[in-house]
A and B are shown apart, each in its own frame.
Chain A
């Protein structure tokens, strides 16, 4: 009988250990970027031999704010920065895991079309939105240049960047890196419940043994 109990307990222990990564995986699946956040994860602007590439490599949620980590490649030089969504604010990684707001805003895309006549920040200057329609909108910037944003899979993407034409764009809803704060709390709760259940099982067993011995 003792060997049977031992085997049963080992089975329970194994089941619990196995459940840890399963639970972790479950939380990972639940915690992803909200469905309404769709962003261009890859942008390639091209003109003759000249190219500029933007790639989103990571999505982070910090203090309930969503950030996309951008990697810009231009003439072999790589610049990394973070874009807050949907405010378009550009943050830089200052080292030691700290971000600082640069004061400038990305020009690359809009998650939602702004209203006609709105003044919007673009890099370190601004522009006025004109001609909003179903396919896109135009921004007349501070320097008098006309910037056209075309609707691509629900996102408004810049068509030309410093004379380079948008050659390739991938728009998707990227999966967020796991929200570890929530994961940790959820796991704590799950394991506390399981441990309590296991302890109760043990108490029942002891109680049953006592009853049997009285009989």
Chain B
């Protein structure tokens, strides 16, 4: 069985899980305060930023800080728990399929779901920016090229985090610690973003990119250049290590 049919099967498994509904709701809900506070977008509190950039940054702040990590954890719970009903995972593991391939197929589904979420996010951004523009009589829409490029950057930056969450989900059999460790790791990312070792903490990568976008839009708020050098090698290393460990240990807890 090749890798693509494995992914197809994994997608089939989550077909009736209502996961898309759970992904759609937060994406749109997070924009409601921004629309309601559309007037406040002009009050920049002394920060030199245009209203349209302010709207973009304020709206995406909650999304990249906690909503994207939290929904990633949600998806890992879905991918792990869905198959525990009637010991489905044991049946999968008994088939002549390589364990690592199965593990990677599930990880691919995880990042596919995130990709869908990002597309929905762009849609939600444009809808709410259009609604807010109509309310305040000022165009709050940013050019699509910028929006797509930035959101795609966020997407790439979530991949290491997804790999780490997936590793946690594979290694830890007890669901309470699976969820607990993941959720607890989101909270301090706002502290770590301001330290020098942010690049060692995958949960704050998308937040870092947003802060860079903020720094570029408003001088003096944050740095304007991305520190590619320690970041990219370390992120790649963390991702590969997390995936390697996940593939190695996949199915161990269930076989016991």
The reply to whether chain A is a binding partner of chain B is no
